[in-house]
Amino acid sequence: DGGITQSPKYLFRKEGQNVTLSCEQNLNHDAMYWYRQDPGQGLRLIYYSQIVNDFQKGDIAEGYSVSREKKESFPLTVTSAQKNPTAFYLCASSIRLTGELFFGEGSRLTVL
Amino acid sequence: KNEVEQSPQNLTAQEGEFITINCSYSVGISALHWLQQHPGGGIVSLFMLSSGKKKHGRLIATINIQEKHSSLHITASHPRDSAVYICAATSRTGNQFYFGTGTSLTVIP
């Protein structure tokens, strides 16, 4: 079945460490997104990509980095520069920027 | 002020009740989405609409472009409908999504 796979589902990190969250889709979608979800807030855009080898910063890109070397894959690295990284991270894709959104199951990162 | 506002924030209903969740937006949009987030965290797209009304099973979504308002209705609610429902809008330029903060629905047997 087509869909979006995020891993790991749960991740614990010590302060000062970088971590990478995986996002893979087999929907043949051009656009991919990373969102952060905090309690009581709407989803906030970290980065998005419309095409391979190109990506754009979202509203809260500081302390994060991404790559888009393959159409199917859009990994997110949470760097030690991110001041408050504990959150729920959601990857999404759409056939184009204005299309219906498909989400992964999310990754919950906790910094100890 | 958020570009997309939802009400109510929390909603508890008895099984079988008719439920309405409201969404208002303040920006120009090309489409409006209704999403469902279950306790595990994954999000499923329920509807994407730009005008009128869409129905899928017991779920109905409507949008009034002039009033910048959308509603999600659930008929004959069931405990398995318990989830967070999120309204989101695609900007008219098509390069951004705006998300509401969600409505947490609990349906009691």
Q: What is the pLDDT of residues A56-70, one digit of tens each?
A: 999 999 999 999 999
Q: Which residue of B has its CA nearest to A107?
A: B41
Q: Quick check: B94 contacting A, CB < 8 Å? A: yes
Burial A16-51 (b: 16+ CB within 10 A, else e): eeebebebbbeeebbbbbbbbbeeeebbebbbbbbe
pLDDT band at A2 (very low <50, low <70, confident <90, very high): confident
User: pLDDT above 90 covers what percent of chain A?
Assistant: 79
CA gap A26, B7 in Å, rounded: 35
CA gap B100, B89 in Å, rounded: 9
| Structure tokens that stand for B90 in this block | 């695609």
Instruction: Provide the mean pLDDT of chain B.
Output: 94
CA gap A96, A71 in Å, rounded: 13
Smallest CA–CA distance, residue B8 to chain A, in Å, is: 13
Nearest by CB to A103, from B2, B42, B102: name it: B42
Instruction: Provide the mean pLDDT of chain A.
Output: 93
pLDDT band at A97 (very low <50, low <70, confident <90, very high): confident
Amino acid at B84: V
Size of interface A-B (CB pairs under 8 A): 53
pLDDT tens-digit series, residues A10-40: 999 998 899 999 999 999 999 999 999 998 8
Nearest by CB to B40, from A41, A102, A105: name it: A105
pLDDT tens-digit series, residues B17-40: 999 999 999 999 999 999 999 988
